[in-house]
Structure 1
Amino acid sequence: MSRLFALAALLAAFFPAAVSAQVQGTIAGVVTQEAGGEPVPGANVLVEGTNFGTAADLDGAFSFRIPEGRYVLVVSAVGFASARDTLRVRKGQTVALNVALALDDDLGSVEVTADRATIGAGVSSITPADIRAMPTPVADALRAVKVQLGVTSNNELSNAYSVRGGSTNENQFFIDGFEIYRPIRTQQGEQEGLGLVNGDLAEGLTLYAGGFPVRYGGKLASVLDVTYARPTGAIVGTAYASTLDGGAAIQGGAGPLGVAVASRISRPQSFLGGQELKGDYDPDFRDVQGLADLDLGGGHRLRAIGLAARHRFRFKPQSRVTTFGIFPDLVRTASFEFRGSENDGYDVLFGGLRLETPLAQSLRLEHSLSAYDTEEFETSDISSTVQYSNRVRRPGAPPTEFDNIPTGTPVTQADFADNSVGVATLTGGGRYRLGLGRGASEIGWQLRSLRFTDRINERSLFSYPTVSNDTTEFEQGVLQAEFDTTAVQAGLWLEQALDLLPERGRFVATAGVRADYYDLTDEWTVSPRLAAVFSASDITTFTGSLGVYHQAPTYRELRGEPAPGESTITIQTDLKSQRADVAVLGVEHLFRQRRLTFRAEAYYKRLTNLISYTVDNVRVGYSGENDSEGYAGGIDMQLRGELVPGLESWINYGFLLTEERFLTPDGFENPASPQQRADSLRFVRNGGGDWVRRPTDRRHNLSIFVQDRIPGDDTWSLHLRSLYGSRLPTTAPAVTIDAETGERTFEDGVRHAISLPAYFRFDVGATKRLRIGKGISGAPLMLLATVEILNVFDQANVIANAYNLQQRPNGSNFFEAVPTRLTPRTFNVRLRVDF
């Protein structure tokens, strides 16, 4: 926490002082009306392409400081045509800019479309430039989402994130409107590799953290919609390499056809090898993506996109030494020795086609077809022996020196897994949009077939010496399953956007309704939604949304838990869709003089038909039952602006409260079967009907992204990214022993009775931009050299606890919790060439 307060103090000093520390000049002037010369109060004076600048006062006068250089200034005001001018600013000098604005005769130029929902409650935009600038272990667009409004994360090894109390499985991902998926069976962040979004092809990313349109479906938390750029004109591209990853992208067009291709590879051995778990890491993550855009004439356009990914994670663990406890008197060490190896991976193939057909100026049709296939496997045969020791301070020695005194008996655990899962989808859809006057209508449909194939075969074997020098062995965690399941999903939606005020664009309301059918559970759901954007003035905007969201159970949720004493997993086809009733209210205000935007949003979700789950590292394990209800509520705030032109910075703070309570199971008072007895015990351990924290209940979250330039040399840029999240709840396992048979059973203990430590991370990078020649198209050939320090303060973040079986002197069993820590401080060097 002391480091966090030091960071806060640093930023408090940094933000107001950063611009003044530059080598600067001043731009000053007066904005008047062309006819009559009257002042134009409140006129915006901005550097083109940025939010950097100021606003005129009541007399039309303005003044602001800016680093020396050449700039294009844009002056605008409501009711007037914009004006542009080019200025050269020199150090210590004032440049005059007096502008006379002409009245704008076309006051009805704002068009209302169904896509206007991209401005609304819970919506954030992410630019490719910001993605590239963020100091992250690998160049992955999904990692840029972690510093957006309403998003939390506690694992730099994973690209997974949580949005406003939702699990990582409650987020949807789209590339150009085609849905893609994250890995299903991944257990640890090291195994995930690259996210399937390639930032070098992206034109922009839009995150919907609540209130998203009906066309996206009904996941309970968020939607990330990535738009890939339309390749046209001269050939341009980029190539990069670092100590952890590399990639290249090229795109261009000739005549009606535009093509783009990008490839990436990541082999972060050095990054993973810095962890406490030592061994032979061999990660190999790579993919290739491409798109083609064909202009068929008359406004007709055909777009094709394809993706192939091959991710492998091979690992031979050797040893691990973890020291934990309370300094100085309750310090423990766990020393592990490993034998064996693991080999995990997944292959993804994806292809999509979209045909855009305009039938009239205001009527557009879209039809699409896509196929997605993923094959995942995990094989491991690893045994480990752990010896615990007490660390005792040596008399007369320095306070940091300890004696290592072994305690207890070594316990050996052997884990075996041979699992695979395949998911194949084929999706067709249509979208029809009509814009007339002040309104826009949209009708759409979707039909999808799914196939899940799964093979599970895993178990754990424990052995340890007894007090009589015999060896005790028992097997636990035995799971077996093999099934092949098919399903069909169908959806239909209707949406209407309408401008409700005479002054166009000031108050736009969007109402929609979606109906879905899922044949596997034989369930129909209906989801109405309403969103509104009200521009009270040119500096203050209010947003709001109300909606119902239904998340149908798919592979993850459908897998239930084995019955007591059994090891076979079955598919639960009687589940209902989880439901969220969501309300969001927000405000955004621009402080003109400082060009800072403040944004705040309050939200509340009522959650019903929940399928409870637990989280271990990155794996989400579901109960397979609609066994709880809950809520999530909180407030998110953001301060955003540009310290220098073209480089945005922001600070986010979020407060979240999310809890659930479990529904009373059948036969709770008088359980008559082993299953009822197990359900009753689980109900008691889950709070017995009282409210308990959900796995994502992170009360406080802070994320920061700052960009700046070196004073006097605008070829240097600095980038800072920091994440902080307060403690997350977690559940420790328990051991029960059958009084008659002596059989040991592992079960979850009291739900969320303990918490993981807070998560804090601070990453910095510095980039030098050099012109080294001309590219293929004649444009400048630019070299960007970046040095990054990841986890600057070497914070020992904990992602989970590893629970190891131990034996007390009296022969009883218990679990010792050993923290699983994430990566230490790491240095990375990255080179990028843009041409």
Structure 2
Amino acid sequence: MKRLHFIVLISLLFSWLSFSQSAIIRGVILDEANLPIEGVNITANTGEGTATNSNGFYELKIPFGEDVTVTFTHVSHKRVEQKFNLKNGQEIEYNPVMLIEVEQIATVIINTNTRQSVDGVTSISPQMIRTIKGAQPGVENILKTLPGVNISNELSTQYSVRGGNFDENLVYVNEIEVYRPFLIRSGNQEGLSFVNTDMVHNVDFSAGGFQAKYGDKLSSVLDITYRNPVDFGIRTDLSLLGGSLTAETISKDGKFSGIAGVRYRDNSLLLNSLETDGNVEPVFADAQTYLTYRFSSKFHLNFLGNISSNKYNFQPENRQTNFGTLQDPVALIVFYDGQEKDQYQTYFGAFKANYFANDDLTLKLIASAYHTTEQEYFDILAQYRLGEVNTNIGDENLGEVEFSEGIGSQLTHARNDLDAFIINVEHRGDYNIDDESTVEWSAKYTHEDIRDRLVEYEVIDSAGFSIRPPLFSQTNPQPYEPFSGPLVAFENTRATYRVQINRVQAFVQYSKRTDWDGNEVFYNAGVRSHTWNVSGDGITDNDTQTVISPRAQFAIKPNWEKDMLFRIASGLYYQPPFYRELRDSEGAVQPNVKAQQSFHVVLGNEYSFEIWNRPFKLVSEAYYKGMTDVNPYTIENVRIRYSADNNAKAYAYGLDLRLNGEFVPGTESWFSFGYLKTEENIDDRGYIARPTDQRLKFGALFQDYVPNMPDLKMYLNLVYNTGVPGGSPSYADPYNYQLRLRDYRRADLGISYQLVNPEKTYSSRWKMPFKELSLGFEIYNMFNNQNSITNTWVRDVYSKQQYAIPNYLTPRIFNVRLSARF
């Protein structure tokens, strides 16, 4: 971290601010239908008062250190009173439900679905994220059950959305953009998601047509908010795959609060179940913190920090893969020598200053730094036999290779190093013109400094003959005369670059909610600009480029008896190239790669209704994306290799459906369906399927409990995806390789029993320290389906054909889990 000298000047800008002598209560007031109530009068017995806006939101300042009674009144609802005694500078969220017929008060956790449905945003409960685990637990484990989101590798946190690839997704934590490592090529090497689920307060996800306030990517936005603690607490989670520990606290005067977590994960249980036998040491760990200091009611300073270490050591020994059909079974047997050692160290820190000038104006200053050092070293010799399998039942050699169709070897070598340092400085602001109109804006500067050394080669030997690259210029005159050319590797890439990219981004957007002839109407319009320049050693042709991205949304909630909402979103979205998109298949940096462009149209409908006197919602979205200046790519497991040339155009269209509600009282479940078609036209040769063309998707997340034993709970996580194109061998024409992988089918089951429930009291001494305690049992890939993520290409010495050997993912795995909160 020699270059990670990050000077923070934020506090100096606001040092003149005075300290608060009050506390703040804020929240949203809902009615029995869980809808916000406008015009609720809120008064304190000390004289302070306010009222809710059209969204049901309010904020009230009260004196600290004394009992204050706050009264909520509305002409059509029953009166509510609540007593508070807060500390100096303390802020709490209080969300009462005002009933009409019964004098009763309930406090609820705010549900943002009502407000954010007009934005096309899906909100996910943090409690659900912490409850629903998986082979790769976290936010991504829930995302894969949503329509339009495809994850076909349980070892990876990467996901594609509506035909986009892994690099087309934005991720924010408390309005701070976060990054992922560059060099990872396999899900086996991936460790932990950046997002620590035990620290999460709110999760919002948009699959397209998002607002101008979000950055320049083509596919999706994942917007995470970490929580500010209101009390001391400790949460821990232990399983056969690792563990986590999270602690949170708040100072006596309420000015300082902090939450911190450490996580450790060892994927040996998963990786030792794969086809390739060997010694594997996949160890991943991170430490993360989110701190807040309230200098006054007007000025808050936040810090987000993360340190992570991913280490993947592998010594493969042998592998056997059976494929083909029952009539023509084929087996691949491989014996290995060598090892792989990969290491990814990342450091991230960000300061965010919030200045609440008044009730309508908020100013923010965000400064962040990201530093990653990555190494990918391996030398692996693979010697293989490809042959026919003995299918005679009762034969002692059943399942063994009897006749070899291909014999060969492959030597792969890599010494890849990357050092990337990224800094961001951004000013954001929002101003409430009135209770119904808001203006938001931002100006951001980014500097990316990347040092990259790429050294890779692959030598292929088939039946005693070294395979030359097909693009080699020297002709082979054999058998008429001896070939005197040098032996060369089938693939050989050597490149060293130091690249700097400077970016200036800005946006402004206007949002308004109003009433039109008795119908609720919301609309948003905004525009983004993005200017960047690529420079570095040996780079001379580096023009400065600029793109302008207008975006708009419109939603209407008709005054109908049925609860319906209609939404349309459209815009011109750009994705200026990141470093990986500038590097072609040979490792050369192409500085003048243009931004990929996509025109989005999204039509949405939400229908809320009741079944069995419980709430349900059906969300439907149809979308179309027309893309130009497309940068074609190939996917190998999770590694994306770009052509670094804007020589294609593409499109994507589809339909997403999601039905969610309380199928079982008190629990949320959903079923989703998606249809997608995405194709690209490279060099005007005609349209072919893109690597992410996953036509049909079905997902289900179902929760249940035993009626007479509500502490005994279960979840079922189901995903079905049709297969994507299986890729093509090196140097091959993708137009000739359009066969698809088999369908992806996976079911994860979790059963847990809550030994301690926060809603109960316990007399047992050993239970007294716990607020929550549960013991769980999980089955991953319950039906033991053989799913594949990519192909290995092997040559047949006789027919000269290449066979696509599927690389299978994890089989059925059992896991136990212990979770506790103190």
TM-score (norm 2): 0.80
Indicate yes or no: 2:552 matched with 1:530: yes
C-alpha displacement at 1:776, in angstroms? Answer: 14
Partners of 1:138 and 1:266 within 8 A in 2 = no
Q: Quote the residue 1:101 is aligned against.
A: 101
- 1:204 corresponds in structure 2 to 202
- Partner Cα distance (2:115, 2:551) in 1: 12
Q: Residues 751, 556 of structure 1: CA spacing in aligned structure 2 closer, same or farther, 3 A cutoff?
A: farther
Q: Does the Cα contact within 8 Å between 2:774 and 2:819 map onto a contact in 1? A: yes
Which residue of structure 2 aligns with residue 422 of structure 1? 419
User: 1:515 and 2:529 equivalent?
Assistant: yes
Shift in Å, 1:364: 1.0
Q: Find the counterpart in structure 1 of residue 663 from structure 2.
A: 643
Q: Which residue of 2 aligns with 1:493?
A: 507
Query: Which of the residues 455, 459, 462 maps onto 1:461?
Result: 459
Q: What is the identity, as a one-letter code, of the residue corresponding to 1:789?
A: I
Residue segments in structure 2 that go unaligned for 5+ positions in a row:
1-30, 37-73, 82-98, 104-111, 467-481, 535-542, 757-761
Alignment of 1:762 with 2:747, yes or no, is yes
Mean Cα deviation higher: 527-536 or 281-290:
527-536
Counterpart of 2:638 (choices 597, 602, 618) is 618
The match for 2:303 is 304
Alignment of 1:798 with 2:788, yes or no, is yes
- Specify the SS of the correspondent of 2:229: coil
Higher alpha-carbon deviation: 502-511 or 799-808: 502-511
Which residue number in structure 2 is paired with residue 371 of structure 1?
A: 369
Q: Aligned-pair distance for 1:100? A: 5.1
CA RMSD of aligned residues (A): 3.1
Give the alignment partner of residue 690 of structure 2, picking from 668, 688, 694. 694
TM-score (norm: length of structure 1): 0.79
1:467, 1:493 → 2: CA distance?
59
Specify which of 738, 753, 756 is matched with residue 753 of structure 1.
Answer: 738
- Return closer, same or farther for 1:260/1:767 CA change in 2, 3 Å cut-off: same
Q: Distance in 1 between matches of 2:571 and 2:721?
A: 28
| CA displacement at 1:506 relative to structure 2 | 1.8
Is it true that 1:589 corresponds to 2:607 in the alignment? Answer: yes
The code of the aligned residue for 1:143 comes to: N
Show the counterpart of 1:314: 313
Q: What CA distance in whole angstroms lies between the structure 1 residues aligned with 2:465 and 2:202?
A: 65
Cα distance in 1 for partners of 2:167, 2:800 equals: 34
Counterpart residue identity of residue 759, structure 1: Y
Cα distance in 2 between the residues matched to 1:558 and 1:773:
64
Q: 1:319 to 1:500 in 2, by over 3 A?
A: same
Following superposition, the deviation at residue 377 of structure 1 comes to: 1.1
Contact 1:388 1:408 in 2 (8 A): yes
**2:84 corresponds to:** none
Alignment of 1:241-640 (within 5 A): 241-254=238-251, 255=253, 256-327=255-326, 329-394=327-392, 397=394, 401-402=398-399, 404-408=401-405, 410-437=407-434, 438-466=436-464, 475-501=489-515, 506-520=520-534, 521-537=543-559, 539-562=563-586, 569-594=587-612, 595-640=615-660
Distance apart, 1:403 and its partner CA: 5.7
User: How far is the alpha carbon of 1:821 from its aligned partner?
Assistant: 0.2
Alpha-carbon distance, 1:450 to partner: 0.6
- Which residue identity is paired with 1:264? R
CA distance in 2, matches of 1:399, 1:749: 42
2:721 alignment partner, one of 718, 721, 725: 725
- 2:340 and 2:498 map into 1 onto residues whose CA distance is 25
2:439, 2:764 → 1: CA distance?
47
CA distance in structure 1 between the partners assigned to 2:116 and 2:381 by the alignment: 51
Deviation at 1:381, TM superposition (A): 0.5
SS in 2 for 1:119: helix
Deviations 1:85-106 (A, max 9, x none): 9xxxxxxxxxxxxx85399xxx
Instruction: Give the Cα–Cα distance (whole angstroms) in 1 for the partners of residues 355 and 222 of structure 2.
Output: 25
2:213/2:440 contact within 8 Å kept:
no
Contact 1:775 1:781 in 2 (8 A): no
Amino acid at match of 1:389: G
> Distance between the aligned counterparts of 2:395 and 2:32, measured in 1?
64
Question: How many percent identity over aligned positions?
Answer: 28
CA contact under 8 A between 2:430 and 2:441: conserved in structure 1?
yes
1:213 is displaced (CA, Å) by 1.8
- CA gap 1:613/1:100 in 2 versus in 1, 3 angstroms: closer
Report the CA distance shift for 1:79/1:135 in structure 2 as closer, same or farther (over 3 A).
farther
Which residue in the other structure is 1:29 paired with? none
Q: Which residue of 1 aligns with 2:95?
A: none
1:682 aligns to what?
Answer: none
Alpha-carbon separation, structure 1, partners of 2:438 and 2:396: 72
Question: Which string of whole-angstrom CA distances, capped at 9 and with x for unpartnered residues, describes residues 577-631 of structure 1?
Answer: 0011101111111122342211100111110110011111111111110010011
Question: Deviation of residue 411 (structure 1)?
Answer: 0.7
Deviation, structure 1 residue 120: 3.2
- The alignment partner of 2:357 has SS state of strand
For residues 605 and 117 of structure 1, the distance between their equivalents in structure 2, rounded to whole angstroms, comes to 26
Q: Which residue of 1 aligns with 2:675?
A: 655
Q: State the one-letter code of the partner of 1:222.
A: S
CA contact (8 A) 2:527 2:550 kept: yes
* Contact 1:773–1:781 (CA under 8 A) maintained in structure 2: no
Partner deviation per Cα, 1:744-795 (whole Å, 9 max, x = no partner):
xx43453542111110000100010012789999885321111001001000
Alignment match, 2:777: 787
Contact between 1:147 and 1:704, CA under 8 Å: does it hold in 2? yes
Q: Deviations over 1:7-48 (max 9, x none)?
A: xxxxxxxxxxxxxxxxxxxxxxxxxxxxxxxxxxxx956899
Aligned-residue offset at 1:444 = 1.1
| One-letter amino acid of the counterpart of residue 834, structure 1 | R
How big is each residue's C-alpha offset from its partner over 1:233-253, in whole Å with a ceiling of 9 and x where there is no partner?
Answer: x21120011001200101010
CA separation of 1:443 and 1:781: change in aligned 2, threshold 3 A: closer
**Residues 118 and 522 of structure 2 are in contact (CA less than 8 Å); yes or no, is this contact kept in structure 1?**
no
Write out aligned runs for 1:147-296 (5 A). 147-232=145-230, 234-254=231-251, 255=253, 256-296=255-295
- Partner AA of 2:814 in structure 1: F
CA 1:166 to 1:546, structure 2 compared with 1: closer, same or farther past 3 Å? same
Checking the alignment, whether the CA contact within 8 Å between 1:693 and 1:752 is kept in structure 2 is no
In the alignment, the residues of structure 2 paired with residue 182 and residue 408 of structure 1 have an alpha-carbon distance, to the nearest angstrom, of: 42
Counterpart selection for 1:128 from 126, 129, 134: 126
Q: 2:814 aligns with which of 815, 827, 832?
A: 827
**How many equivalent residue pairs?**
696
Contact residue 688 and residue 735 of structure 2 kept, 8 A = no
SS of the residue corresponding to residue 620 of structure 2 reads strand
Look up the SS of the partner of 2:195 in the other structure: coil
Shift in alpha-carbon separation, 1:776–1:251, aligned structure 2, 3 A: farther
How far has the Cα of 1:212 moved from its partner?
A: 1.5
SS at 1:142 equivalent: helix
